[in-house]
Chains A and B, each alone.
Chain A
Amino acid sequence: MIKRILSSSYLGLLLVLLYAPILIIIIFSFTEAKVLGNWTGFSLKLYASIFQGGIHHSLSSALWNTLIIGLIAAFAATILGTMAAIGIHNLQPRSAQAIKMVNTIPILNPDIITAISLFLLFVSLGISQGYTTVILAHITFCTPYVVLSVLPRLRRMNTNLYEAALDLGATPFLAVRKVLIPELKPGMISGFILAFTLSIDDFVVTLFNIGNEGLETLSTYIYADARRGGLTPELRPLSAIIFMTVLILLLVINRRATKKKL
C-alpha cells in the first residue's frame, strides 16, 4: 500500500516538474500583467487581444508564416515520403534495410548539424535565403518521419492488392490512386500531422536558413523578442494555444496508432 502511494506520488512529482514551465505560461496567460510572474487577477484580455487584431503586426505575420510553412512542408513531405516508402517496400530485403538505415540518420542527426549543412548547401547552390530555403529545409527533415509512418502500413498490406487492381483493368497509375493510396491513407495522415507539428516546432534549422530579409516564424520571433528584453504579453496566450493544438494533434496520432493495432 505504502509502496503504491510512494510510487504514484513519485510519478506525480515527475510530471509536475516536467510540465511546470508550460503550466506557468498557461496560468499567467489568464492575467493582464505585463511582466511574467505578477498575478493581477483573472482576465481573458490577452486572449481577446490576439483575436481582435490588437496583436503586433509582426507577431501575426510570424504566426501566419509558421502555419503556411508548416502546411506546405508537411504536404510536400507526405507526398515525397509516401513515394519513398512505396519504393523501399518494393526493394530487395537487403537494399531495403540499407535505405531504411539511411532514412533514420536525419532523424538521429543533431538539429544543429542538419541546420548548418542545409545552410551551406543553399549558399553553395546560390539559393537566396528566405521562404524557399526554410520550406526546403523543413521538407528535408520531415520526410523521413513520413516514410517511417507509411512503411508499417505497406508491410501489413496484402501484396496482391495492387496486382488485383491491375488484373481488374486498372492502369498502374489508377491502381496506385484507387487502391494503394486509400490503403496507405491512415499512415499518410499520421505522417502529415507529425510533419506539421515538427515544422511549427522547429527553431534551429529555421534560424539558420531564414535569412535576414525580415522573414520571421513564431519560434524565431519569440527568440528575438525575448532577447530584446521581456516577452510580449500576448505570447503567453499564444503559447498556451499552440501547446493545446499540438497536444490535441498528438492525441489524434496516438488514437490512430492504437486503432490501427486492433
Chain B
Amino acid sequence: MQQTTDIITVEHLSHSFGDKAVLQDINLSIKKGEFVTILGPSGCGKTTLMRLIGGFLKAKEGKITIARQEMTQVPPHLRPVNTVFQRYALFPHLNVFENIAFGLKLKKLPKEVIQKKVKKVLKIVTMMDYEKRDVDSLSGGQQQRVAIARAIVNEPEVLLLDEPLAALDLKMRKDMQMEIKAMHKKLGISFLYVTHDQEEALTLSDRIVVMSDGKIQQIGSPTEIYNEPANSFVADFIGESNILNGVMLEDELVECAGLQFECVDKGFESNEQVDVVIRPEDIYIFDMSDAAQFSGVVTSSIFKGVHYEMMVTTHEGYEFMIQDYHCFDVGKTVGLKVKPFDIHVMKKERLCNTFDGTIVDKSHVKFLDNVFECPESANFTANTEVKVSVAFDEVTLFDSEDEGELKGVIRLILYKGNHYHLTVVVEGTDHIFVDTNDIWDDGDRIGISIAPKCIHVEPA
C-alpha cells in the first residue's frame, strides 16, 4: 500500500567499476511530488546512483522501480525520467526553441502542440523572449534554465538534477535555488537532486540522503539531519560541529572533554562509549563568571560576517569551535555553557578496527591481504579464521608510502577536540581508522604499520 505513493524505489542496489565498489546495498524510495537530495562529498557515489536511476549505467546488482515498473535494465530513452546535466549539455547546433522541442519532436507531436508546450515551459523558467536565441549566446544561468525547460517539457514523473548549479557563481546559485524550489511547487513532480553543497541541500529538500563511501549514512528531513545526525560523518559534513569522544554515565548524563554534562539522550548502556556533537552556535560564551559550566582561553577569533568564529581551548585541554555575535579577544579567559538540549549523543559505529583474518602460523596472522607478526600463541592452528582487532591509536602512519606494511590514502579527517580521527583507505577498498595527534591532509598517500603487540587475535 506504500507502493502506491512511491514513484521511485531502489532496492539492494550495488555497483562497481572494475573491482572498486562504488555503491553498496542502497535502499531508497522517493514519493510522488517529493524533493529528495542526495548529498555527499565528491567520490561518494552520488552521481553513480543518479546515473543508475537515469539508465546511463546498467546496475550490476539490485532493483530499480520507476512508476511501479521494474526498470533496472531498461535503456534511458524508455524511462519516464528526465535529467538536467551538470554542464547543461544543451545541443549547440540547435537554438533555444529547438533544444526544448527535441524530446517532443521525437514523440512526433503535432507542430501546434509543440509550440504551445515550449511556450508554456519557457514561461515557467522565465525565458519567454529567448526562443530564437543561440544557446552559446546565453549566460550560465540562462543555459541552466533552458536545460531545465528541456527536461520538464516532457512531463517526466521524476526530474533528475545532477549538481545543476555547480558552475554558477554564489549569488546566481542562491537565486536559482529559490527558482528551482518554486518550480518544484508549481510542477508537482518529484525532484531528485544531487549536490555536494550541504547548504543547498538544507535549503531545497523535503528529504536528504547523506552518502559517503558508497553507502547511505542517513535519510531524513533537513532538520533531522542537522539536529539529530546519525553518526559523526553526518555531523561533520552538515554544518560546523564539535565532535568529541564521550562516555554515557547514565541516562541523561554524559562525560566528555573531561567534564560531565547533562543531556536529554537516554537508552544507552551505562558507560557506553559514544560520540558527542555540540554545534558551535549552541555554546554560550561570556566573560568569566559563576554561571560558567566550564572555562577556556580564546586562541583565535575570525569575523565571518554574521558572527565571529572563535576557537577556545578549555582548561581540560580540549578545543571547541564557538560562534557568537560578540567578539572575545584572543588570550582572554572566557566562561562557557551548553544547555542539555543542545548536546547530541550518537552511538559509535565502531570502538576499534576489526578485520577478518586467517592464521598463518603460531606468530603470524593474515588480514588486509598482508601477513602481520602478532603475539605468539600456542593454540593457533594454520588456516583458522579469526577476528583481528587493532585499537585506533595503535596504528602508525608514515609520510612515505614505501614504509610500513600497507599503503593507504587519507580520506576523511575528523577533529575530536584534542586529536584527529582519520579514515584511511587501504589498497583502494578496505578502511583503517586511526587516532593521531599529527596533522595530515585529505588525500595524503601514506605508509601504514601495526606493531605486533597491538594486534589482538580472537577466534571468529
Interface string of B83-94 (1 = CB under 8 A from A): 101111111110
Interface string of B74-88 (1 = CB under 8 A from A): 011100011101111
Assuming the A-B contacts A160-B87, A164-B83, are A169 and B93 also in contact, with contact meaning beta carbons closer than 8 angstroms in the complex?
no
A161 touches B150 (CB 8 A): no
Question: Does A168 have its Cβ within 8 Å of any Cβ on chain B?
Answer: yes
Cα distance A165–B90 in the bound complex, in angstroms: 9
Determine how close the nearest CB of chain B comes to the CB of A160; give it in whole angstroms: 4
B91 touches A161 (CB 8 A): yes
How many residues in A have their beta carbons less than 8 Å from beta carbons of B?
A: 20
Assuming the A-B contacts A166-B75, A169-B154, are A158 and B87 also in contact, with contact meaning beta carbons closer than 8 angstroms in the complex?
yes
B106 in complex: contacting residue of A164, A169, A185, CB < 8 Å = A169
Assuming the A-B contacts A174-B106, A182-B93, are A166 and B77 also in contact, with contact meaning beta carbons closer than 8 angstroms in the complex?
yes
Most buried by B among A164, A170, A174, A175: A164
A168 touches B85 (CB 8 A): no
A164 in complex: contacting residue of B55, B75, B89, CB < 8 Å = B89
Cα distance A166–B154 in the bound complex, in angstroms: 13
Closest to B75 in A: A166
Closest to B93 in A: A182
Question: Does B447 have its Cβ within 8 Å of any Cβ on chain A?
Answer: no
- A161: chain B residues at CB < 8 Å are 89, 91
Determine how close the nearest CB of chain A comes to the CB of B172; give it in whole angstroms: 20
Cα distance A163–B88 in the bound complex, in angstroms: 11
Question: Does B303 have its Cβ within 8 Å of any Cβ on chain A?
Answer: no
CB proximity to A under 8 Å, residues B52-89:
54-56, 75-77, 81-83, 85-89
- A128: chain B residues at CB < 8 Å are none
A160 touches B82 (CB 8 A): no
B77 in complex: contacting residue of A171, A179, A182, CB < 8 Å = A171
A167 touches B87 (CB 8 A): no
- B150: chain A residues at CB < 8 Å are 168
Cα distance A167–B84 in the bound complex, in angstroms: 9
Cα distance A183–B135 in the bound complex, in angstroms: 14
Cα distance A169–B150 in the bound complex, in angstroms: 12
A167 touches B77 (CB 8 A): yes
Question: Does B286 have its Cβ within 8 Å of any Cβ on chain A?
Answer: no
Question: Does B220 have its Cβ within 8 Å of any Cβ on chain A?
Answer: no
Question: Does B304 have its Cβ within 8 Å of any Cβ on chain A?
Answer: no
Question: Does B103 have its Cβ within 8 Å of any Cβ on chain A?
Answer: yes
A163 touches B93 (CB 8 A): no
CB proximity to B under 8 Å, residues A153-197:
158, 160-161, 163-172, 174-175, 178-179, 182-183, 185
Assuming the A-B contacts A158-B87, A158-B89, A161-B89, are A167 and B54 also in contact, with contact meaning beta carbons closer than 8 angstroms in the complex?
yes
CB proximity to B under 8 Å, residues A209-228:
none
Question: Does B102 have its Cβ within 8 Å of any Cβ on chain A?
Answer: yes
- B116: chain A residues at CB < 8 Å are none
Closest 4 A-B residue pairs measured CB to CB?
A160-B89, A168-B103, A164-B89, A160-B85
> What are 10 inter-chain pairs, A to B, with CB distance below 8 A?
A158-B88, A160-B86, A160-B89, A161-B89, A163-B89, A164-B90, A167-B54, A168-B106, A168-B154, A179-B91
